[in-house]
Structure 1
Amino acid sequence: MEIKGRFPSTVIWNPGAITLLLLSGRRPGEFESNMELAQAGPLTIIWQSGTPHIASRAPRADDRSGEHTLHLMINLCSRWDTSRREQIELRPGEALIVDSRLNYTLELASRYEVVHVILSPQLLERWVPSSGRLIGRRISGTSGWGRPLIAFVAQLSPQLIADSPVPVSVLADQFGALLALVASEGTPRPVTRPEHDLRAQIRDCIAERCCEPGLTALDVAKALNISVRTLHRALTASNEKYGGLLMASRAAIAMRMLKSPLFRRITIAEIGRRAGFADASHFSRVFYRHYRQLPSQLRGEA
């Protein structure tokens, strides 16, 4: 399923009665969403990408689906902010579980790519008896059992599910087992920016915002509340340069899009634009410098 086009700045969206959302666009009149859906036994897997927007969920009188669902969302690309009782920053490679009966808001400040798994509360209770501990909890993709869970789900493309060498019920049970292991770890202490060294903060900020056209060192410095001189000095200490990190981050985003089945109908030039490159020739040169092959060669091998 693909939804793409221009809409009012605020719309009510209910795709197939999955859930009812209020969407507020950052650019009035423009909203784009690309979606591919597959069924893996009791799980619904949706690959989504699109333009920046704010999605708000609140129970409404005109939401007649009456269906209670849980949603595991894995952020593959850009930083999100989500809020329910408190605001949580979700970075690329992290996941969050939300409940369709609870109010929440997702703010996607730049183009996004997400793997979205829908399941019933009864199904989750089968694997995790005290499943409430997972709702609204950020799951890290770099430590503990969150790492194999997120890596596993990120491979569940519609094509893989269709061509699965094992019954889809096995994939669903593997998903449930990993969720149970994540729940057994307890709630991790939130990571705050002061705990990172300055260079890590700079790299994170560049990786999160690299798809923004014209992103400058001044933009990153302002976001971190430091001077541009301090930013360059911190990077120079590790023999790094702002421009090099920016191009490497954009090339990595483009590489993921070129490999993703979600983007197979998107042209190479458009992928370069979405990754933040000003023109196709510059995109090709930078990509070749980092991966020793052209984007067209990689697309041809896929």
Structure 2
Amino acid sequence: MASQAAHGTVDLASPLEIVLRDGAADSARIETRSTDGLAPRHALPYWRDGVLRRMELLDAPAHANASGPQRFHARLIHVAGPGADLVQHISDAVSARRDRQRIRRDGCDDVSISLLASARPTRLVHRGDHVLRGGDVFVTDYAQPMEILRPRHHDISLICSRQRLEQALGGDVSLLAGRRLPRRGLAMLLGSHLRLLSAQMQWLTPPQRAAAVRAAVDMALAGLQTEMGLHPHDERMATGGLHHAALLAIHRECHDPQLAPERVAALVGCSRATLYRVFAAQGGSVAAAIWSTRIERAHALLTGGQMAHLQIAEIAHRCGFADPPTFNRMFKRRYGMTPLEARDLHKTIL
């Protein structure tokens, strides 16, 4: 019996392998694992042996051997990206540990930066005793023992090679184990990016998935550097992470007419001067990115059909333009026609 995958089928008898490699820079393959279609008594053993092989299950949950509505449900989507893997895991309650014997046996020393997208409080014992809540971004180190007690949960993880992290951060990453990033700046934006990526990744092309995973890794590394005061060994990666995070912040906040570079810098947790340098390194400016995002959103709303009932002035306001004449002038400069002409042209094409 096989589970459905976005590209081909996956043999449920074969264990899930997460092997980090450089891979093609413009490709990211995807596979899906699920307990759907399995007999109730086979669901948990399959998940234990085929998916959670790095961990040892603790006391079996109450539904382990049950049938009917109490059966164990879980689903995993794995994207093998360039230099990092993205894993989305939705599962019923499960508790597991990784001890030193297992670490010596499998030799895995990857590091995971994870978003607990939704769950009741989750206990993580990993260089200390931690309580995680929905929305937390945290770090786990597979080279160190851990124990995690999870209720039903949904998490999204970037799994990076230890070598890559140490190269990017310029030092030993073992002290990051169990670390929870503060809910602000880059960590919060990284969480938003991971949620969006997990929701859309099955609909993206392989090159699009690869670009999105690279952006997530850059943001994660920049977040670790910024929030934890680590010296970046790879300045290009730090700059790329801040740039991706700033663009995400602009996309989220461009409806605000008061959005300015100072506000964007505060959202990503850096100084205005640093933000200016980051955008200059990419050949652009913060102000231009704000205006461009607003114009592109307005164009999408004008030509998308769903907002046909709205006046053009209302669309301009929703996209952060307080002055309609300025909106009309900038729109025409960008698209070579007025907003009204763009809307009418779209109606003609339809």
| Class of the TM-score when normalised by the shorter of the 2 chains | 0.5 to 0.7
SS at match of 1:118: strand
Say if 1:98 and 1:136, in contact at 8 Å, map to a contact too.
yes
Specify the alignment match of 1:107 in structure 2: 149
1:126-145 aligned within 5 A: 126-130=167-171, 131-140=173-182, 142-145=183-186
1:268-283 aligned within 5 A: none
1:12-51 aligned within 5 A: 13-15=48-50, 19-27=54-62, 28-29=64-65, 31-51=72-92
Specify the alignment match of 2:218 in structure 1: 177
Distance 2:205 2:92 in 1: 31
C-alpha deviation, 1:90, in angstroms: 0.8
Q: How many residues align?
A: 186
C-alpha deviation, 1:132, in angstroms: 3.6
Does residue 76 (structure 1) correspond to residue 117 (structure 2)? The answer is: yes
Seen in structure 2, the aligned counterparts of structure 1 residues 47 and 83 have a Cα distance that, compared at 3 Å, is same
TM-score, length basis structure 2:
0.46
- Rg bigger for which structure? 2
C-alpha deviation, 1:176, in angstroms: 2.9
C-alpha deviation, 1:93, in angstroms: 0.7
Specify the alignment match of 1:3 in structure 2: 35
Amino acid at match of 1:48: H
1:44-59 aligned within 5 A: 44-59=85-100
Seen in structure 2, the aligned counterparts of structure 1 residues 65 and 151 have a Cα distance that, compared at 3 Å, is same
Seen in structure 2, the aligned counterparts of structure 1 residues 35 and 17 have a Cα distance that, compared at 3 Å, is closer
Unpaired segments of 5 or more residues in structure 2?
1-32, 66-70, 230-350
Seen in structure 2, the aligned counterparts of structure 1 residues 10 and 58 have a Cα distance that, compared at 3 Å, is farther
C-alpha deviation, 1:47, in angstroms: 1.5
Distance 2:163 2:220 in 1: 14
Seen in structure 2, the aligned counterparts of structure 1 residues 19 and 157 have a Cα distance that, compared at 3 Å, is same
Distance 2:159 2:179 in 1: 16
Say if 1:11 and 1:24, in contact at 8 Å, map to a contact too.
no
Amino acid at match of 1:137: R
Specify the alignment match of 2:274 in structure 1: none
C-alpha deviation, 1:57, in angstroms: 1.1
Q: Match for 1:98 among 118, 140, 154?
A: 140
Seen in structure 2, the aligned counterparts of structure 1 residues 161 and 134 have a Cα distance that, compared at 3 Å, is farther
Distance 2:124 2:74 in 1: 19
Say if 2:35 and 2:43, in contact at 8 Å, map to a contact too.
no
Amino acid at match of 2:214: D
1:119-158 aligned within 5 A: 119-130=160-171, 131-140=173-182, 142-157=183-198
Determine which structure has the larger helix proportion and give its number: 2
Specify the alignment match of 2:299 in structure 1: none
C-alpha deviation, 1:98, in angstroms: 0.8
User: Considering only aligned residues, what root-mean-square deviation do their CA atoms show, in Å?
Assistant: 3.3
Amino acid at match of 2:162: P
SS at match of 1:37: strand
Seen in structure 2, the aligned counterparts of structure 1 residues 21 and 155 have a Cα distance that, compared at 3 Å, is farther
Distance 2:43 2:114 in 1: 25
Distance 1:164 1:158 in 2: 14
